[in-house]
């Protein structure tokens, strides 16, 4: 490739400068140079920050360097079954890859396009080994247990943000807090987030902020930084930093690296956020959300108050109706009682009593007449019957039929001839008159 700025001081006739090329043309030349000079290559390294979806994106790193890698779905399918546990490598696994270097023009970055991948054995990077060992130790001690997690403040007055003051992370936190709830105050504690000075600075910052939290009115702490490789994020895996976070009495929210990255400080923190923005969102209330909540509660309160009023009115109406019904019932009873008493009083007035007695006398008189008439008729019928019977046994009636009666001088009835003597005076009673005679003989 020709020099873009040719030195022509010693030339008699200056040559024409080369024609400038576009950025796209330059990117193409870079890509052609990489492919032509290096070509296909095998590289061994440690998997970092993997994002395994349809296509795989990750960083291949060692102790001193890293390079971005992309493995398309067609190449992913060539990985042998059983090569990796779970079908894919994990954070910190050592792998051997084969691929071509290329220059991604759109983002202006060089990356390795992976065609093949296999495990480098059970070997892991030294940092990953140290990471796994510390995680295992602290998990056994219970440092990650929910019992140690402190409740985050609902409406923090002031939040300490421990990070680099020039980082994109702090800008994200500040902007998010400003948009959500400007009342919450942010105290930015500037620390280096990688390098030799990072660990003591972060430890000191956490301990100092926690110690002065009550005096300064700090309700929570955010520890954050942007993405990076395991090496760049290692300060947040240091035992001293992790212990400072665990011993901190002030609630801590940590957001280290990308969502796929995990640092040990995030495991001991009271809450792990995937990004600095999410960390701010976890602590800073959203004014729009609060406004909606207030409006919701206002509507709920109005609705509840209205419902209570309606229920109260319904109860009052029901009670009034009940009282009215009881009152009406009592009035009806009293009216009925008064009417009955009035009728009774009317019935007991002298005129009414006289009229009532007259009616009773008239009724009794009629009944007496009827009874007397019936009695007389019954007596008359009885007399007639007795007369008939008497007529049947009346001696005079018998005598009218030609019979006669014979009596002695004393009037005693003679029934047998033996009851008289010769020369005795007797009288014969006929229907019309009597005959006196003397007994000459008896037989």
Task: Give the residue, 10 or 319, on which the prediction is more confident.
Answer: 319
Q: What is the pLDDT of residue 1?
A: 38
The residue ranges of every structural domain in the chain are 23-124, 131-145+155-285, 288-323, 351-392, 397-438
The string of DSSP letters for 357-379 reads HHHHHHHHHHHHHHHHHHHHHHH
Tokens, residue 342: 């009035």
Q: Is the dihedral of CA 243, 246, 252, 258 positive or negative?
A: positive
Least confident of 4-18, 93-107, 146-160: 4-18
> Where does the pLDDT of residue 124 fall: very low under 50, low under 70, confident under 90, or very high at 90 and above?
low
Q: What is the pLDDT of residue 13?
A: 55
Q: What is the pLDDT of residue 33?
A: 83
Cβ–Cβ < 8 Å for 208, 244: no
Q: HSE of 205 in the Cβ direction (CA atoms, 13 Å)?
A: 26
Regarding the domain delimited by 131-145+155-285, which CATH topology (the fold level of the hierarchy) does it fall under? Rossmann fold (3.40.50)
Residues 6+ apart with CB under 8 A from 93: 46, 47, 84, 119, 120, 124, 128
Per-residue pLDDT tens over the stretch 218-240 = 999 999 998 777 778 889 999 99
Distance CA(321)–CA(329), nearest Å, equals 12
Q: What is the pLDDT of residue 121?
A: 67
- Taking 80 as the threshold, does the pLDDT of residue 399 lie above it? no
Per-residue pLDDT tens over the stretch 169-200 = 999 999 999 999 888 999 999 999 988 899 99
Regarding the domain delimited by 23-124, which CATH topology (the fold level of the hierarchy) does it fall under? OB fold (Dihydrolipoamide Acetyltransferase, E2P) (2.40.50)
Q: What is the pLDDT of residue 122?
A: 54
> Where does the pLDDT of residue 282 fall: very low under 50, low under 70, confident under 90, or very high at 90 and above?
very high
Q: Per-residue pLDDT averaged across 233-258, rounded?
A: 92
Q: Per-residue pLDDT averaged across 32-46, rounded?
A: 83
Task: Give the residue, 236 or 318, on which the prediction is more confident.
Answer: 236
Per-residue pLDDT tens over the stretch 87-108 = 889 888 889 899 988 888 888 8
Q: What is the pLDDT of residue 42?
A: 87
């Amino acid at each position: 490739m020709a020099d873009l700025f040719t030195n022509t001081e010693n030339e008699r006739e200056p040559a024409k400068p080369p024609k400038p090329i576009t950025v796209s043309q330059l990117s193409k030349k870079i890509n052609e140079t990489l492919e032509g000079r290096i070509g296909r290559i095998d590289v061994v390294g440690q998997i970092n920050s993997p994002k395994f979806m349809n296509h795989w994106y990750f960083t291949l790193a060692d102790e001193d360097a890293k390079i971005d890698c992309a493995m398309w779905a067609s190449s992913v399918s060539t990985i042998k079954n059983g090569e990796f546990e779970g079908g894919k490598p994990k954070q910190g696994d050592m792998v051997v890859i084969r691929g071509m270097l290329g220059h991604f023009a759109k983002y202006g970055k060089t990356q390795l396009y992976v065609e093949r991948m296999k495990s480098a054995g059970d070997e892991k990077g030294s940092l990953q080994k140290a990471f796994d060992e510390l995680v295992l130790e602290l998990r056994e001690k219970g440092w990650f247990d929910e019992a140690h997690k402190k409740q985050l403040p609902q409406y923090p007055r002031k939040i300490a943000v421990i990070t680099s003051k020039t980082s994109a992370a702090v800008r994200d936190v500040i902007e998010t807090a400003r948009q959500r709830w400007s009342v919450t105050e942010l105290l930015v504690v500037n620390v280096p987030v990688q390098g030799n000075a990072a660990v003591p600075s972060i430890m000191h910052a956490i301990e100092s902020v926690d110690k002065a939290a009550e005096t300064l009115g700090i309700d929570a702490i955010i520890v954050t930084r942007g993405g990076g490789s395991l090496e760049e994020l290692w300060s947040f895996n240091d035992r001293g930093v992790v212990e400072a976070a665990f011993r901190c009495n002030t609630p801590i929210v940590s957001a280290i690296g990308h969502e796929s990255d995990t640092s040990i400080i995030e495991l001991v923190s009271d809450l792990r956020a995937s990004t600095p923005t999410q960390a701010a969102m976890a602590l800073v209330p959203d004014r729009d959300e609060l406004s909606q909540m207030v409006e919701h509660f206002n509507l709920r309160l109005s609705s509840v108050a209205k419902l209570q009023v309606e229920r109260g009115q319904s109860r009052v109406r029901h009670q009034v109706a009940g009282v009215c019904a009881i009152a009406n019932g009592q009035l009806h009873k009293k009216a009925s009682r008064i009417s009955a008493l009035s009728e009774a009083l009317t019935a007991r007035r002298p005129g009414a009593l006289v009229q009532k007695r007259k009616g009773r006398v008239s009724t009794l008189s009629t009944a007496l007449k009827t009874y007397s008439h019936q009695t007389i008729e019954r007596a008359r019928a009885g007399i007639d019957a007795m007369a008939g019977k008497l007529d049947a046994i009346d001696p005079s009636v018998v005598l009218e039929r030609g019979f006669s009666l014979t009596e002695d001088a004393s009037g005693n009835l003679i029934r047998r001839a033996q009851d008289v003597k010769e020369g005795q005076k007797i009288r014969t009673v006929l229907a019309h008159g009597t005959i006196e005679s003397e007994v000459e003989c008896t037989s």
